[in-house]
Amino acid sequence: MTGFRDPVRLLDEPSTSAELRGLLEVARADTIDRTAVARIEGGVRARMLRAPGMPRRWGIGVSTAALIGWFALHSAASDPSTDALDGAAAPATSIATEPSPALPPTRLVAPAERVPSPSTRTDAPAPARATAPTPPQPRRRSPRSAAAPRASGRASMVATVNPAPETAREEARLLLAARRALALNPAAALARTDEHGRRFPDGALREERELVAVRALVALDRLGEARARADRFIAQVPTSIHRPAMIRARDPK
């Protein structure tokens, strides 16, 4: 259409000074971390739920109760009453540094259409939009729901779709206590996960419970049990968003 060509970017220009290069390299770094992403995500989710008529297209399988549990898990971090549960400080690996439990794994339209990273992207074709949106498919299914689970092994691990809000809060409270205990008192953390397992065997935060439990077992040097539990989890929920974290927990350096 025109004879214009994109100029060489300053960072790709050999004559660019080290000073300016340093500025631009810092500028291209991420400005927010995972915790901030989780906070933004939580804010958007909350407003989605509040706003009348707002399209609830966050993604897949996100029940209101699970959201409440997710928020409770985060907001309870500032609740002094929960600090007393174990007397332990929040561990370095707080839930905010992990993928949020209710968030399905992010996936752009298709691998071929994935937007490349800034350092590698080219003028790729724009992601397409279908003429009619595809209804999102539930990621978490209830074993008691009419829909059959994808695999028989998964049925025992998938979470209930729509627990009552108070149930979700209690689940979140228990798991928060477990996470907080993890750094200083892994035995207490494991006990909390056991309690969660007894009270909410098919709870909405069951996958998160398994992750905490495996971390606690590793911290207690019960590596065989940790590995067995992690392997069972990975086999039963191979598509869990916690799979990478579970593998890292199972195979500590």
Partner 1 sequence: MASAATLPEAMPAPTFAEVFGEHVRYVARALQHFGVNPCDLEDECQEVFMVALRKLADFEGRASVRTWLYRIAWKHAANYRRRARPPYALARDPAVPPEQERALVYARTLDRLARILGELDDERRGVFVLYEIEELSMREVCDVLGFPLQTAYSRLKSARAHILAAVEPEARG
Q: Which residues bind partner 1 (CB under 8 A)?
A: 2, 4, 6-7, 9-11, 17, 19-20, 22-24, 26-33, 36-37, 39-41, 43-44, 47-48, 54-55, 57-60, 62, 103-110, 113-115, 118-119, 121, 123-131, 133-134, 136
State the residue for tokens 């992207």. Answer: 121
Q: Which is nearer to partner 1, 41 or 83 (CB)?
A: 41
Q: Which is nearer to partner 1, 130 or 146 (CB)?
A: 130
State the Cα–Cα distance between residues 92 and 140, nearest whole angstrom.
28
Provide the minimum distance between the beta carbon of 98 and partner 1 in the complex, in angstroms, as a whole number. 14
Nearest CA to 71 out of 45, 97, 98, 37 is that of 45
Q: Which is nearer to partner 1, 43 or 153 (CB)?
A: 43
Provide the minimum distance between the beta carbon of 28 and partner 1 in the complex, in angstroms, as a whole number. 6
Q: Is 222 left (phi over 0), alpha (psi -120 to 50) or beta?
A: beta
- Which ranges of the chain would DSSP assign to H, the alpha helix? 18-27, 34-50, 64-75, 80-83, 165-182, 186-199, 206-219, 223-236, 243-250
Q: Which is nearer to partner 1, 23 or 191 (CB)?
A: 23
Give the angle 107-111-112 at the CA atoms, nearest 5°: 145
First-to-last CA distance in the chain? 56
- What are the distances in angstroms from CA 247 to CA 5, 133, 226, 233? 46, 34, 11, 10
State both tokens at 84. Answer: 């007393």
Provide the minimum distance between the beta carbon of 167 and partner 1 in the complex, in angstroms, as a whole number. 24
Q: Which is nearer to partner 1, 55 or 224 (CB)?
A: 55
Beta carbons of 226 and 249 less than 8 angstroms apart: yes
Provide the minimum distance between the beta carbon of 73 and partner 1 in the complex, in angstroms, as a whole number. 18
State the Cα–Cα distance between residues 209 and 179, nearest whole angstrom.
9
Provide the minimum distance between the beta carbon of 76 and partner 1 in the complex, in angstroms, as a whole number. 20
Q: Which is nearer to partner 1, 108 or 164 (CB)?
A: 108
Q: Which is nearer to partner 1, 42 or 186 (CB)?
A: 42
Provide the minimum distance between the beta carbon of 40 and partner 1 in the complex, in angstroms, as a whole number. 5
State the Cα–Cα distance between residues 16 and 21, nearest whole angstrom.
6
Provide the minimum distance between the beta carbon of 140 and partner 1 in the complex, in angstroms, as a whole number. 13
